[in-house]
Homo-oligomer: A and B are copies of this chain.
């Protein structure tokens, strides 16, 4: 399962960036020609296979990542094995923001993909030289913090059904941002991973998924993709009636 990442030194040109499909979703989207070249110089372009470990909780925090393809799971463990997944990353997402001397989380690929990897010391220097990038990173951090607050509300106060519905609404939003229509949702993660993200068990996730299916709110297309049939009902179940989430009802 856990292999080593394949690194190839940056080519030094911004060509890789020019053709990078994740750029418009990423912090580097704010940079122009020269900045991209500079950033790319410091980047290792790595690829990873499903199940590969990018970061291990407790290890010295030496690198930062910009996910360019694939999906990544970020989680924390208790000593007895209880697991909390604190996020799922997709292309454009930044990995390593919430990092001190050591990683406080592990990161593992759900699906094969690729990333730009930076040595932390290099990245620090680059940030000093490029305030625009630092600004973009701060905006990203603010957004992540807001998402973390939402997740705290979910974990602390929502019922199992509300959690699942909120999760699906979140996936739908992300799908729309990535260019989809928001009805078709991919589930690259397993039920166990959904459970560990929502603070539930696989059984509870499964039961509530069935309930949503039975009620006609969603339709399972395969084990790892579904279609949202009644978005407004899903929003209600998520406990978000009042909040503006931009889903056509």
Determine whether A221 belongs to the interface, using a CB cutoff of 8 Å to chain B. no
Interface of A is mostly: helix
A142 and B104 form a contact (CB under 8 A)? no
The docked-state distance in angstroms from the alpha carbon of A97 to that of B138 is: 9
Contact indicator B141/A86 (Cβ below 8 Å):
no
- Chain B's closest residue to A138 (CB) is B138
The answer to whether A104 and B146 touch across the interface, beta carbons within 8 angstroms, is yes
Given A155-B152, A156-B84, also A145-B144 (CB < 8 A): yes
Selected contact of A82 from candidates B144, B146, B157, CB within 8 Å: B157
Stretch from A3-11, A12-20, A33-41, A127-135 that touches the partner: A127-135
Q: Which of B134, B157, B241 contacts A134 (CB 8 A)?
A: B134
Assess whether B144 is in contact with A79, with CB atoms less than 8 Å apart: no
Interface residues of A in 53-109 (CB under 8 A from B): 76, 78-79, 82-84, 86, 97-100, 104-105
Residues of B within 8 A of A127 (CB): 135
Q: How far is the CB of A58 from chain B (nearest CB, A)?
A: 8
Nearest neighbor of A76 in chain B, beta-carbon distance: B153
Complex contact A84–B153 (CB within 8 A): yes
A104 CA / B240 CA spacing, docked (Å)? 13
A49 to chain B, nearest CB (A): 26
CA distance A241 to B80 in the complex (A): 11
Nearest-neighbor residue (CB-CB) of A199 within chain B: B156
CA distance A98 to B148 in the complex (A): 9
Q: Which residue of B lies closest to A241 (CB)?
A: B79
Interface status of A121 (Cβ within 8 A of chain B)? no
Residue of B76, B82, B146 touching A99 (CB-CB under 8 A): B146
Q: Which residues of B contact A242 (CB under 8 A)?
A: 79
Write out the residue numbers on chain B whose beta carbons fall within 8 Å of the beta carbon of A148: 98, 145, 148-149, 151-152
Q: List the interface of chain A (C-beta within 8 A of B).
A: 76, 78-79, 82-84, 86, 97-100, 104-105, 127-128, 131, 134-135, 137-138, 141-146, 148-153, 155-158, 196, 198-199, 239, 241-242
Q: Which 8 A-B pairs have the closest CB atoms?
A: A156-B199, A148-B148, A155-B155, A98-B145, A141-B141, A98-B146, A84-B153, A84-B156
